Chain A
Amino acid sequence: MDKNGNALLNYLKSDPIDLRVSDLNKSFPEKEVLTGINLHVSPSETHVILGKSGAGKSVLLKCICGLELYNSGTIYLNGEQIQSETDLSRYKIGFVFQSSALFNSMTVSDNVGIYLREHRLVKNEDQYKTLVKGALELVGLEGVEAQFPSELSGGMKRRVATARVLVMSPDLILFDEPTTGLDPMMTKTIGELIVTIKESIDTTQVVVTHDIEFAKYIADRISVISDGKIIDVGDPDNLETSENDVVKGFISKKFDEKEEKYEKRI
């Protein structure tokens, strides 16, 4: 991405975060969701948390950005222990929701620019429009500014949600299942988008997914989570050679499960 060609890239001032999660526990009244989670994500790293549905991946992301309270454990951002909302508010953490969570009553332009407007970060309407356009270009969307979220496809919504996060100059971006419900072509587009963000913006990214191929495509490192515990951490290439039985089972099971389901159906 040419830095001079995109207004947003010239505007961004991200400061990639070092994220460390130490012995994090979270339980709901009826279920223990996270048990002794330890995780380290280096600045500018794209770290994937891989696991099946119900493993506690999304809850972990929500604990990191303060949307869920945790029972015990510690979260450090750049070595600073996060103890309150005030501590957390010093960092710009973008969250791309699984549902996209776009504001349905607002246009795409207003959705993307809401952070700029509400924090009064732009000097005038021209700068606002240029930055919003730049963010949309960065995620591969053009000419959709005046549309409403209900007029967009699932993949477009996910990209608008990403653009909304990009205008924050995020120090850390959290993606919650960014490919759920998308076709393989759109999954590839989202994968390319995450790689583009990594190449063009100096920011830390944590991506939660259950899609192994997608994870291998975007990740610098992968943590495998199962039943609320991180059971293995490593480079994408090393994942398939893991000695951990659960990891081996998870990787091979994915394909076995598909076959079994197909056989049952016919």
Chain B
Amino acid sequence: MSELFIATGGILRLLAHTLYWCKDAIWNIDKILYQITEIGNNTLPVAALIALSSGAVLTIQSGPALASFGIQESLGGIVGLSMVREIGPVMASILIAGRMGSAMTAELGSMSVYDEIDALKTMNINPVRFLVMPRFIAMIVSLPVLVLFMDVIGWFGGAIVANVNPEIGLSFQVYFRNLADLVSIKAVFNGLIKAFIFGVIISIVSCYIGLRTKGGPREIGRSVTKAVVLSFILVLVSDYFITRILQSINID
């Protein structure tokens, strides 16, 4: 139990330090851009595939049922809203935590084990400024962009299945008209807020566990597993509370 409190305190402390060092972002723009490129290169193709199949599955699951009541024209809105509010942000976060969060923990964990973090400290280079802040900013910028990308691809995945599947048989025009009617800017913004918060959680948790790694290569592996599992849990649990808060302040 005490470990839980120590970890929570440590994560919040790291978040506070990272926010403080964001003042030096302009001097570290090359590192931030490098991290954004890494996130983009490593996630865009998989994100496209996941989004396409998510949209398609949503349509194939709900389309025939709606068609049996003759209300299949509302499919565009259902798929569109599901993508922007839930599936886009959560799927993108799970992907980023698994693909980039794990890489961050492994890199920082390895640097910690092989004295590289200590080497930075002896040169009066703050590890939070040098390592955590660029990853944090890259993550909170990239994740919302990735969510927008997944939203659009997901809509198209749904549209294709709705059009091709004979049980649904919905034209692109009807699908997208309904989608445009129901998916408001507010709903998209809601998904982006979630993505932003998930980005904060994943980057800070991954960096915190990486920096605290001690021992040898086996501990690096353990840290990676711990970071991914903790990120998943925090993303999925916080998703409910963020949704509830957004509803209460009328953004959802």
A residues 199-243 near B (Cβ < 8 Å) are none
Given A118-B130, A120-B27, A99 and B123 contact (CB-CB distance below 8 Å): no
> What is the interface residue range for chain B against chain A?
10 to 19
B126 nearest in chain A by CB position: A118
Query: Could you tell me the distance between the alpha carbons of A106 and B118 in the complex, rounded to whole angstroms?
Result: 16
The answer to whether A97 has its CB under 8 Å from any CB of chain B is yes
Query: Could you tell me the distance between the alpha carbons of A103 and B119 in the complex, rounded to whole angstroms?
Result: 9
The answer to whether B248 has its CB under 8 Å from any CB of chain A is no
How near does chain B come to A148, taking the closest CB pair, in angstroms?
14
A174 nearest in chain B by CB position: B122
The answer to whether A95 has its CB under 8 Å from any CB of chain B is yes
Q: Which residue from A62, A66, A102, A115 sits with its C-beta under 8 Å from B123?
A: A115
Query: Could you tell me the distance between the alpha carbons of A104 and B116 in the complex, rounded to whole angstroms?
Result: 9
How near does chain B come to A12, taking the closest CB pair, in angstroms?
15
B residues 113-160 near A (Cβ < 8 Å) are 114-116, 118-119, 121-125, 130
How near does chain A come to B41, taking the closest CB pair, in angstroms?
15
The answer to whether A152 has its CB under 8 Å from any CB of chain B is no
Are B124 and A89 neighbours in the complex by a CB distance under 8 Å?
Answer: yes
Query: Could you tell me the distance between the alpha carbons of A168 and B123 in the complex, rounded to whole angstroms?
Result: 8
Interface size on A, residues (CB 8 A): 23
Main secondary structure, interface of A, reads loop
Query: Could you tell me the distance between the alpha carbons of A168 and B122 in the complex, rounded to whole angstroms?
Result: 10
A167 nearest in chain B by CB position: B123
The answer to whether A101 has its CB under 8 Å from any CB of chain B is yes
Query: Could you tell me the distance between the alpha carbons of A104 and B114 in the complex, rounded to whole angstroms?
Result: 10
A-B contact pairs, 12 of them (CB 8 A): A66-B121, A94-B123, A97-B115, A97-B118, A99-B115, A103-B111, A103-B119, A114-B123, A115-B123, A120-B27, A164-B123, A168-B123
Q: Interface of A with B (CB < 8 Å)?
A: 62, 65-67, 89, 92-95, 97, 99, 101-105, 114-115, 118-120, 164, 168
Q: Interface of B with A (CB < 8 Å)?
A: 27, 107, 110-111, 114-116, 118-119, 121-125, 130
Supplied contacts A66-B121, A118-B123, A119-B125, 17 more A-B pairs, CB within 8 Å = A65-B122, A67-B121, A92-B124, A95-B119, A97-B118, A97-B119, A99-B114, A101-B118, A101-B119, A103-B111, A104-B110, A114-B123, A114-B125, A115-B123, A119-B124, A120-B27, A164-B119
